[in-house]
Amino acid sequence: MLEIKQIEKTFNAGTVNEKKALKGLSLHLKEGDFVTVIGGNGAGKSTMLNAIAGVWPVDEGQILIDGKDVTKLPEYKRAAFLGRVFQDPMNGTAATMGIEENLALALRRGSHRTLKPGIMKNERKLYRDLLVRLGLGLEERLTSKVGLLSGGQRQALTLLMATLKKPKLLLLDEHTAALDPQTARKVLELTNEMVTEQGLTALMVTHNMNDAIHIGNRLIMMNDGQIIYDVSGEEKKHLTVDDLLKKFAEASGGQFANDRMMLSK
């Protein structure tokens, strides 16, 4: 479903701020793989997701989604294959539009149809049914402006929108990190339900090692622009946070004392 072959990305090449963020990174995801991604700050996790989404072109290598070479495709064209949820709840939804208008836009992803009030009225039942599943009472607020929602409500809605058209690949970048613990838990449960029920292929970056171990069928650890650990199936199930810390220490030479990962043990 996703094939990344030897991609390289350097930011600010040739300046004092030059940073090699991805160093010959390769990754192959099978359909239905639900992969958690961990690694210290600056490891290249977001850069990998941005490379897949086409935020900027990579310097070297190839990216294939469902067998199609998208390496040269601009971001807006790749968006037809992808669902994305970022850390910031302000991203991903249109604040000045209503809940149903946001959902209607998500439903029209990849097509050029405009929002006609009549069509939307017919789709209301679908929206209501979808929103009921979130368990946040949003089904009673179809016309409320999204800007009035809490961060958690907005993130749950973004998730719903990102998965509405069954993307070939769902990219989640610390999408619960900005939420309070209880809301984060709820949004994470929803994520797990949506990905497993629809059999989505997903990459989920998290700084919570316990979540990384218990969610999904595969875990990868990144360090310094590379994947340094890739584990799946039974082996993943039996991992402990201490195992991950050890791997992490080996790779980073023990320089992780201040890392956020330590705080989420």
Ligand X SMILES: Nc1ncnc2c1ncn2[C@@H]1O[C@H](COP(=O)(O)OP(=O)(O)O)[C@@H](O)[C@H]1O
Interface residues with Mg ion (CB under 5 A) are: 45-46
With CB under 5 to 8 Å by kind, the binding choice for 43 among ligand X, Mg ion, none is: ligand X
Q: Residue 21 interacts with ligand X (CB under 6 A)?
A: yes
Q: Which is nearer to ligand X, 216 or 225 (CB)?
A: 225
What are the φ/ψ torsions at residue 91 (nearest 5 degrees)? -85, 145
Q: Which residue is nearest to Mg ion (CB)?
A: 46
Answer for which of 36, 38, 46, 186 binds ligand X (CB under 6 A) is 46
With CB under 5 to 8 Å by kind, the binding choice for 42 among ligand X, Mg ion, none is: ligand X
Rounded to 5 degrees, what angle do the CA atoms 35, 215, 217 make? 50
With CB under 5 to 8 Å by kind, the binding choice for 201 among Mg ion, ligand X, none is: none
Tell the smallest beta-carbon distance from residue 131 to ligand X (Å): 31
Cα separation, 74 vs 1, whole angstroms = 19
Q: Look up residue 259 and give its DSSP letter.
A: -
Q: Residue 207 interacts with ligand X (CB under 6 A)?
A: no
Stretch that binds ligand X, among 39-47, 128-136, 139-147, 191-199 (CB under 6 A): 39-47
Structure tokens at 5: 């072959």
Cα separation, 249 vs 256, whole angstroms = 7
Specify the residue for token string 């302000």. Answer: 90
Answer for which of 5, 19, 124, 165 binds ligand X (CB under 6 A) is 19
With CB under 5 to 8 Å by kind, the binding choice for 223 among Mg ion, ligand X, none is: none
Cα separation, 105 vs 107, whole angstroms = 5
With CB under 5 to 8 Å by kind, the binding choice for 99 among ligand X, Mg ion, none is: none
Specify the residue for token string 């050029």. Answer: 112
Answer for which of 41, 150, 255, 258 binds ligand X (CB under 6 A) is 41
With CB under 5 to 8 Å by kind, the binding choice for 63 among Mg ion, ligand X, none is: none
Q: Show the binding pattern over residues 120-159: x = contacts ligand X (CB under 6 A), - = does not.
A: ----------------------------------------
Residues 6+ apart with CB under 8 A from 221: 37, 38, 39, 227, 228, 229, 230, 244, 247, 248, 251
Q: For residues 84 and 171, is the Cβ–Cβ distance under 8 A?
A: yes
Specify the residue for token string 């807006």. Answer: 76
Tell the smallest beta-carbon distance from residue 11 to ligand X (Å): 3
Q: Which is nearer to ligand X, 26 or 41 (CB)?
A: 41
Q: For residues 202 and 37, is the Cβ–Cβ distance under 8 A?
A: no
With CB under 5 to 8 Å by kind, the binding choice for 256 among ligand X, Mg ion, none is: none
**Selection from 229, 173, 177, 231 nearest residue 205 by Cα:** 173
What are the φ/ψ torsions at residue 85 (nearest 5 degrees)? -135, 125
Residues within the interface to ligand X (CB under 6 A): 11-12, 19, 21, 39, 41-47
